[in-house]
Amino acid sequence: MVATAGKPLESQAIGGRGGVDAVLSFSPIPSLRPCMNPARRKTYLKALGVDVWVSRSTPGEATEPEVAKIVPIAKVPAKAKAPPEPAAELPVIERAPPIIVPTDWAAVRAMVKDCTRCKLCATRTQTVFGVGPESASLMVVGEGPGADEDARGEPFVGRAGQLLDEMLKAIGRSRSENTFIANVVKCRPPGNRDPEKEEAEACRPYLEAQIKLVKPKLIVALGRIAAQRLLVTDEPLSRLRGPLHAYGPERTPLFITYHPAYLLRSPREKAKSWDDLKKVWRFLQTG
Ligand code: SF4
């Protein structure tokens, strides 16, 4: 299957009803009051290791989270036409033969279970399909299974998985109720190395089939590798994190944040991660 690269939605018009175009963006709406209980939020933040600042004027209550919204605009200004540039040399990615993935869960699961489309099949204990409700409004995508996941057959079950569960809990989400969790590749790369581009391409039809079946309102990619493989880019995480992208033929909104394993190694980044979670939360409330 041909890879479908995403493009930032912030720079793209989406045909709106009634002739009004819109762009998706994460913008602060300070006037909207979130429905999360401040005391609960404080408890979650503490569990995540994020400092809570309390306003002097409103003792006992933390600052409200920033929120996401769809901003209607009259028209997206047309960009000035740049002179044509010579075609850049594109990296060659060896692709597995195209396949038609079934459109029902049982058949997709069976296909993944016996898959030999890339070399990762030779070293896996078992495939790690994904977990969560089949019609979740949020889909979380990591890069690939690690040793614990390979042994258990479930994504994000080690220490990073526990932190991911805490992060999801902080925004009222869980893998058992409303969040589907999957990986770019369904088999563990040996030695926990990054999945290669060819492996991600071979596995992409399965992920796209999962996205089609789940129909999430939002996909959140965890970490640089997941983001780069999904968007078929080598851009650094610092540039990919922030804007809202669109993924696949359905142009599902895609947001990128830190991988929980990175947050375990770099706890100082947890505050930024919390900012991202607030945006995810508000997007799911309003998007
Ligand atoms: S990683 Fe994906 S494409 Fe490769 S063998 Fe596993 S299921 Fe198949």
Where residue 103 sits, what CATH number does that domain have? 3.40.470.10
Let me know if residue 277 belongs to a domain: yes
Q: Dmax over Cα atoms in the chain, in whole Å?
A: 63
Let me know if residue 28 belongs to a domain: no
**pLDDT confidence of residue 5:** 44
Let me know if residue 217 belongs to a domain: yes
**pLDDT confidence of residue 183:** 98
Q: How many CA atoms lie within 13 A of 285 on its CB side?
A: 20
Containing structural domain, residue 101: 7-11+95-286
**pLDDT confidence of residue 34:** 45
**Number of separate domains in the chain:** 1
Let me know if residue 77 belongs to a domain: no
**pLDDT confidence of residue 64:** 40
**pTM to 2 decimals?**
0.74
**pLDDT confidence of residue 249:** 86
Three-state secondary structure readout of 28-53: CCCCCCCCCCHHHHHHHHHHHCCCCC
199, 204, 208, 225: which to mutate for ligand 1, most atoms within 8 A of CB?
A: 199
112 lines ligand 1 (CB under 6 A): yes
Average pLDDT for runs of 10 along the chain of length 287: 42 31 39 53 62 48 41 43 57 75 94 97 98 98 97 97 98 98 98 97 97 98 98 97 94 98 96 97 89
Q: Give the pairing type, strands 138-142 and 179-183.
A: parallel
Let me know if residue 122 belongs to a domain: yes
93, 125, 183, 187: which to mutate for ligand 1, most atoms within 8 A of CB?
A: 187
101 lines ligand 1 (CB under 6 A): no
246 lines ligand 1 (CB under 6 A): no
**pLDDT confidence of residue 225:** 98
Let me know if residue 49 belongs to a domain: no
Q: Using CA positions, which residue lies closest to atom 4 of ligand 1?
A: 118
Looking at residue 265, its amino acid is R
Let me know if residue 180 belongs to a domain: yes
Q: Which atom of ligand 1 is nearest to the CA of 96?
A: 3
DSSP calls for 82-147 = PPPPPPPPPPP---PPP-PPPSSHHHHHHHHHT--SSGGGGT-SS----BS-TT-SEEEEES---H
Q: How far apart are CA 79 and CA 231, in angstroms?
A: 23
Let me know if residue 235 belongs to a domain: yes
202 lines ligand 1 (CB under 6 A): yes
**pLDDT confidence of residue 122:** 97
